[in-house]
């Protein structure tokens, strides 16, 4: 599963209750999260949303290195029902090619089928930033190549993120092999393209949180699996959306985030 949690925007405390409800209902084995908040008080005590969610769900958590601004941080994270360790965490390139504020987190999940690498990322958001996102996607793909092991035998890398890019954009076309520029020997399979039904909109103007956005409805949140891989391991079997409507909390309801989540079942070994 991948989901952008909309940091501490809007009615974030009530939304957090809705986020927990969605995650409990979906019960993903692994979830890539973006716009995860953390706070630090004057004594240096840290409270992290990833850890709060992990405790509520009884799972493990890993987060990117935190960059603090006025006591708050804006992170990526991975939650897993199995033990997890961070193996890479780096700043992705900005428009000038130098490290920017967007990050990629690579974690290794101790799954029943062996160590399974997972990458959570969040790319530049501006409408006109395709060139920057192309740089960032290429670096994500380089990280995939670095951490996938033997592509003919080892478990593939699962990539989940708010890519802020539609499937026919230059950056996603590069990732999926439709345009040049990818690192040699690695591509990413778009799970929704293979087994999703319908347009798979994840930026939905029905959501009050984005109703005034200049963006149209778009599919900008993706789950992907590295290729080549030892078929059929990692092949998607079905995919669906979650949090694509208001979550009922007692006598009221709220959209849990400004993004819709993407969930998929992937083929495991054996």
Which pLDDT tens digit goes with each residue over 110-164? 999 999 999 999 999 999 999 999 999 999 999 999 999 999 999 999 999 999 9
35-54: average pLDDT = 95
User: In terms of Cα–Cα distance, which of 169, 188, 186 is closest to 128?
Assistant: 169
CB 63 within 8 A of CB 104: no
- Check which CATH number belongs to the domain holding 47 and give it: 3.60.10.10
Number of domains the chain contains: 1
What's the rounded Cα separation, in Å, for the pair 86 and 67? 17
Confidence band for 22, pLDDT divided at 50, 70 and 90: very high
Structure tokens at 240: 């669906």
Q: Which residues contact 241 (CB under 8 A, 6 or more apart)?
A: 200, 201, 202, 260, 261, 262, 263
Which residues pair with residue 85 across a beta bridge?
Answer: 108
SS3 label, residue 53: helix
252-265: average pLDDT = 98
Per-residue pLDDT at 270 exceeds 90: no
Domain span at residue 169?
Answer: 2-266
What separation in angstroms does the CA of 101 have from each of 111, 217, 225? 30, 26, 25
């Amino acid at each position: 599963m991948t989901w952008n949690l909309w940091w501490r925007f809007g009615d974030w405390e009530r939304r957090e209750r809705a986020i927990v409800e969605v995650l409990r209902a979906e019960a993903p084995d692994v979830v890539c999260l973006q716009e995860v908040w953390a706070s630090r008080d004057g004594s240096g005590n840290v409270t992290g949303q990833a850890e709060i969610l992990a405790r509520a769900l009884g799972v493990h958590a890993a987060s990117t290195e935190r960059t603090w601004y006025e006591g708050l941080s804006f992170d990526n994270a991975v939650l897993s029902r199995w033990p997890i360790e961070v193996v890479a965490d780096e700043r992705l390139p900005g428009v000038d090619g130098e490290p920017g504020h967007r990050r990629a987190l690579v974690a290794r999940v101790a799954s029943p089928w062996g160590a399974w690498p997972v990458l959570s990322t969040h790319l530049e958001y501006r409408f006109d930033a395709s060139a920057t996102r192309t740089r960032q996607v290429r670096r994500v793909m380089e990280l995939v190549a670095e951490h996938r092991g033997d592509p003919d035998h080892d478990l593939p890398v699962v990539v989940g993120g708010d890519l802020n890019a539609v499937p026919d954009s230059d950056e996603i076309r590069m990732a999926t092999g439709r345009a040049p520029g990818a690192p040699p020997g690695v591509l990413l399979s778009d799970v929704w393209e293979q087994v999703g039904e319908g347009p798979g909109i994840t930026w939905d103007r029905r959501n009050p949180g984005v109703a005034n956005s200049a963006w149209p409805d778009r599919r900008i949140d993706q789950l992907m699996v590295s290729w080549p891989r030892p078929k059929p391991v990692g092949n998607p079997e079905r995919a669906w959306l979650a949090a694509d409507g208001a979550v009922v909390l007692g006598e009221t309801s709220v959209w849990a985030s400004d993004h819709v989540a993407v969930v998929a079942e992937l083929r495991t070994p054996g």
